[in-house]
Structure 1
């Protein structure tokens, strides 16, 4: 069964000022798998509690260490549920599968209907994406019109719903901001045409400014740790960073990170937001820089914020990178060749592997292809080196059609189209996005989980020395 992701938001009834936060769960599905509860900050998982279903198919999670309203995650087998909980309160949630892979989830309690409504909006977005078959082919004008239709459709329903709910002003405002963040994410991140145009090192400042002008810089919203809101802040940072380097398109982005961190200090936001934004950009570049370069950024952050909570999160990330880069066998994966035969990473021992993880829909990936071809030609005499192009296109026909047109893209071409396999591959190699380049030695040992790109001069020097 494919992994399921449900975005569920719940605010819950306060019992007393000293109780732990509790989530009570019942289900009609017998399972011996544990439920893990955690929250995320800077894409790091902070564990809260673990529980097992009892003989009546019910269980409870109890934890402390959070304040206010926070988004937490529940991982149960291949099901992932996101929910907002309020510190020192409790909520009950019922999950019914009824022999279906799509469970029915209902909330009870003082704000249960709020959570059910938020789920309805999430379903609306999901259905819209798949109902509109040409959605991903819309141009900017069509996207603008489509997004207006979405807002026009949701706004009266939302206003009508809140008019019937007995919420205090502070809670209603926060929930509305969370709902707006969901729409934001739908518009600017789930829309490849607009997203790639705005983020592909372009000078489309109009799109960037339109996004930034609509973001709520609210500390209470920041503290909820909702993944959609933090995702929007990350998108804003990317757009600001691309605007920052647009006048120097030939320079490598990494040379501008420190000046950009200084630029963040000048943003018209409060100090807590500036600290978070700096930590966020440093964390994001942990997947784009060498360990040495990233450690230099971490040291700079320590000087300014060494006692902050975000520094402790970055240190946790640092330890993960140290463990990942220790000499150990490359995590197992397998993919299909152009002819449809299966190839496993273990089948390729005996040669060094420079793996290019890419997709036809990824503009930065495609931009690197000419450099990859040039690199292969320059290293044609390296018989102990194999170039592997691993596509994560779920549409295999688009992958095959691209290869048919790109006749110089020789070497070993593989495709991984199964979503669950891609998710596991991403986790194993600590990948947050493509392109990604991986170096594995001839004994199958992972040497670099985040190797330099073909366009970088260091890559040719490194591969020549193998």
Structure 2
């Protein structure tokens, strides 16, 4: 009798496990899904649906569009319009309609049709989340640990309460949506908590944050390796932060070592093939934009590990576009004007190591680096074989000249006119500032995306380049 009871319990447990697995995965045979709408004041001829793949549709002159897609996964998708996105929940087979004004997209969008309740809540959720963003970024991320955790948990409680309030007024959510939005909130909070030590050290570079032994306990109740959760937007950000969080304490200060360790840790921390593919892709995409030299070290490993053909081809194409900026390649020349009006070229400094800062007076992150750049210049002021060049890409040349004089900025201060600005951005593949570049004494690229002056590795990088 006892053995029969055990068998019965095991059968029942297995049954519920299979049911829960089926419910969790929410996979369907490909089913036609229709999304139609009208976007007022649209300046884009195309709208895209992003999920596992990108599906594009034309927007006619009146702002109307129709997207017809064969979908096989339920979950969160997004509509992309110019530089704007709209989150929406879709179950394959849904018929969804929406109206919005592109000028106030997130505030004006209204959904009708299948799962309109859930999708209209997502509008409320995104707007609420925006209002809960830290007003003072520095103060928020440099709080003491207990105060920071309290602030994040209070924010999470508000987001969770909004779900309950909305359902009281509008009826219960789809069960699967309710599960996914709860996971979205949880992963979003986890990202903030994993960002805490990173941002603390960035904002307080002279301090080292020491976390309590129980700080990472928030990870215990989260699914770390879950292919199904790739349909939860925050999960995609979470897995990258988790990789960084777990790698941070087992690497040296050198960025290249950290990048290699992050790559190697993907297969140690995750088993799902699709999760690993996304991580390999996202990591290499990041490294391509921050350290082409490191990317060159990892490309063979990447092509071997990556099983998603689209991801593999995209990174390979991106790497090839950066190949002209690999270490040892001839540095593209430029001609810029100094404060006194004289023209200065890169080749004027052959024989010296050059540390270049591409910046602008209106760029907050650029200005935060200035004190550290001055400290760096002071450290090497006795050396005649190094030059510090700052190139402003300000449209307003007078604003640049005024700031240089008022701040008594050291080093070689140059301004790039519109034509030279575009040339430098194109030659050095600059998609954001500040951008730092190291050119060796022979006029060749040493590091086309060098560490910032505030970084811990910059002195090691410069010292190493000076010894060559």
**TM bucket normalised to smaller:** 0.5 to 0.7
User: Aligned pair in 2 of structure 1 residues 198, 107: CA closer, same or farther (>3 Å)?
Assistant: farther
The answer to whether 1:123 aligns with 2:127 is yes
Alignment size in residue pairs: 404
Separation in structure 2 between the aligned mates of residue 410 and residue 272 of structure 1, nearest angstrom: 48
Instruction: Determine the structure 2 residue equivalent to 1:6.
Output: none
C-alpha displacement at 1:113, in angstroms?
2.0
Instruction: Determine the structure 2 residue equivalent to 1:285.
Output: 287
TM-score (norm 2): 0.64
Higher relative contact order (CA 8 A, sep 6+): 1
C-alpha displacement at 1:145, in angstroms?
3.2
Out of 382, 386, 389, the residue aligned to residue 387 of structure 1 is 389
8 Å Cα contact 1:208/1:239 also seen in 2: no
Separation in structure 1 between the aligned mates of residue 155 and residue 85 of structure 2, nearest angstrom: 26
Q: Give matches, 1:249-268, under 5 Å.
A: 249=253, 252-267=254-269
User: Aligned pair in 2 of structure 1 residues 79, 244: CA closer, same or farther (>3 Å)?
Assistant: same
Q: Give matches, 1:165-180, under 5 Å.
A: 165-180=171-186
C-alpha displacement at 1:240, in angstroms?
1.7
The answer to whether 1:23 aligns with 2:25 is no
User: Aligned pair in 2 of structure 1 residues 320, 450: CA closer, same or farther (>3 Å)?
Assistant: same
Report SS of the residue matched to 2:301.
helix
Separation in structure 1 between the aligned mates of residue 182 and residue 405 of structure 2, nearest angstrom: 46
Q: Give matches, 1:250-399, under 5 Å.
A: 252-267=254-269, 273-274=275-276, 276-291=278-293, 293-303=294-304, 305-306=305-306, 308-309=307-308, 312-326=310-324, 354-356=355-357, 369=373, 372-373=376-377, 377=381, 380=384, 387-388=389-390
Instruction: Determine the structure 1 residue equivalent to 2:18.
Output: none
Out of 249, 252, 258, the residue aligned to residue 243 of structure 1 is 249
Task: Show CA shifts across 1:173-192 (max 9, x none).
Answer: 12321233344445655998
Q: Give matches, 1:429-448, under 5 Å.
A: 429=429, 431=431, 436-438=435-437
Q: Give matches, 1:211-230, under 5 Å.
A: 212-213=219-220, 215-217=222-224, 219-224=226-231, 226=233, 228-230=234-236
Separation in structure 1 between the aligned mates of residue 232 and residue 156 of structure 2, nearest angstrom: 24
User: Aligned pair in 2 of structure 1 residues 283, 177: CA closer, same or farther (>3 Å)?
Assistant: same
8 Å Cα contact 2:129/2:159 also seen in 1: no
8 Å Cα contact 1:50/1:61 also seen in 2: yes
- Unaligned segments of structure 1, at least 5 residues: 1-13, 416-420
Larger radius of gyration: 2
Separation in structure 1 between the aligned mates of residue 175 and residue 107 of structure 2, nearest angstrom: 32
Report SS of the residue matched to 1:129.
coil
